[in-house]
């Protein structure tokens, strides 16, 4: 049995709390370039079997990148998995040092598989796509406020809407420029946008946040995005199937693309009509169309063949 330690790192905006499973020793570092470098220097001689930290909205990326560059096996996991693990282990108290210990125990017990972190170019593209979503949300909110607004607020709202529209166009242009500058991204963009119903916003989201597209089978890609229905049965009771987990931002974008595709994509439109005629509820049928659209996109990227209706029908 290997004596290599399992390390957990609880990440906050200001600091990194570090624990090693089975050891009472705890360490604290600043969550900045110097702190991450010092942490790497501490861990390299320990040669840990695994270093686990939670996704914390981006605060973990600098530390994870530094540790990966130092040759350490790093995994960034979904916080919900770790919280559920802590509850199952009856660890109800919560603090940064305790969370680091829970992460170390989680690493030892579950041994999640390390995966390559996105490179700098992909991280920047992801940040731009995320910023686009933020601007789009703010634009929708301001437009909703404008409806029925008192005249005294209209000028301010219209000015802000105009500014948001300019910012949104600038971000869209930058996303398009970066995709064009990469031969791999440019090819994937051309393939997915050949599908009726898929526009530049959907393509940008897929390139940035679903790099696995085209590398997995249809079941795996559906589960990754969170559109694979899970059983909810118990004894003789057969519950309704429901989707769960996955990449919410990708799923939300594909949902809108599927909605458009039910009108303008002949394969998706026929699939939707068939499901409705079979008695499926509108939203259930739409989620099924989302899953089929995702499988079509996955097949197109995997084969390198653009949109072809007979081939898409078989996906």
- 311 within a domain of the structure (yes/no): yes
Q: Do 15 and 137 reside in the same domain of the chain?
A: no
Q: Do 205 and 169 reside in the same domain of the chain?
A: no
Domain that holds residue 133: 120-181
Summarised one tens digit per residue, pLDDT across range 27-68 is 999 999 999 999 999 999 999 999 999 988 889 999 999 999
- Calculate mean pLDDT across residues 252-264: 96
> What sign results for the dihedral spanned by CA atoms 211, 213, 216, 222?
positive
Q: Which helix (H) or strand (E) holds 19?
A: strand 15-20
Summarised one tens digit per residue, pLDDT across range 152-199 is 999 999 999 999 999 999 999 999 999 999 999 999 999 999 999 999
Distance CA 309, CA 311 (A): 5
* Domain end residue (candidates: 67, 88, 110): 110
Q: How many other CB atoms sit within 10 Å of the CB of residue 59?
A: 16
pLDDT for 243: 67
- 242 within a domain of the structure (yes/no): yes
- Calculate mean pLDDT across residues 119-132: 93
- 204 within a domain of the structure (yes/no): yes
Q: Do 78 and 37 reside in the same domain of the chain?
A: yes
Tokens 């919900």 identify what position? 80
Q: Do 206 and 315 reside in the same domain of the chain?
A: yes
- Spell out where 58-197 has E strands: 74-77
- 1 within a domain of the structure (yes/no): no
Q: Do 210 and 304 reside in the same domain of the chain?
A: yes
Q: Do 104 and 125 reside in the same domain of the chain?
A: no
- 197 within a domain of the structure (yes/no): yes
């Amino acid at each position: 049995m290997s004596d290599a330690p399992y390390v957990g790192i609880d990440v906050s905006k200001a600091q990194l709390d570090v624990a090693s499973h089975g050891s009472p020793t705890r360490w604290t570092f600043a969550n900045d370039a110097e702190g991450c470098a010092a942490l790497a220097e501490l861990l390299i001689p320990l040669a840990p079997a695994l270093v686990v930290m939670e996704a914390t909205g981006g605060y973990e990326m600098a530390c994870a990148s530094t540790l990966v560059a130092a040759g350490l096996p790093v995994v960034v996991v979904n916080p919900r998995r770790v919280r559920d693990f802590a509850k199952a282990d009856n660890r109800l108290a919560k603090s940064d040092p305790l969370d680091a210990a829970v992460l170390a125990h989680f690493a030892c017990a579950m041994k999640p598989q390390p995966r390559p972190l996105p490179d700098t170019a992909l991280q920047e593209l992801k940040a731009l796509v995320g910023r686009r979503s933020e601007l789009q949300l703010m634009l929708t909110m301001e437009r909703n406020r404008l409806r029925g607004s008192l005249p005294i607020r209209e000028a301010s709202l219209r000015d802000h809407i105009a500014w948001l529209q300019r910012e949104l166009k600038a971000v869209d242009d930058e996303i398009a420029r970066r995709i064009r500058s990469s031969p791999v991204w440019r090819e994937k963009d051309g393939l997915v946008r050949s599908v009726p119903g898929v526009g530049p916003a959907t393509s940008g989201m897929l390139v940035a946040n679903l790099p696995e597209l085209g590398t997995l089978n249809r079941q795996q890609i559906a589960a990754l995005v969170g559109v694979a229905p899970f059983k909810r049965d118990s004894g003789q009771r057969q519950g309704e199937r429901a989707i769960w987990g996955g990449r919410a931002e990708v799923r939300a974008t594909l949902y809108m693309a599927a909605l458009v595709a039910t009108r303008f994509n002949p394969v998706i439109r026929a699939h939707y009509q068939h499901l409705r005629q079979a008695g499926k509820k509108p939203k259930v049928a739409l989620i099924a169309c989302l899953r089929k659209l995702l499988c079509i996109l996955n097949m197109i990227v995997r084969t390198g063949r653009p949109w072809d209706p007979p081939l898409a029908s078989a996906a």
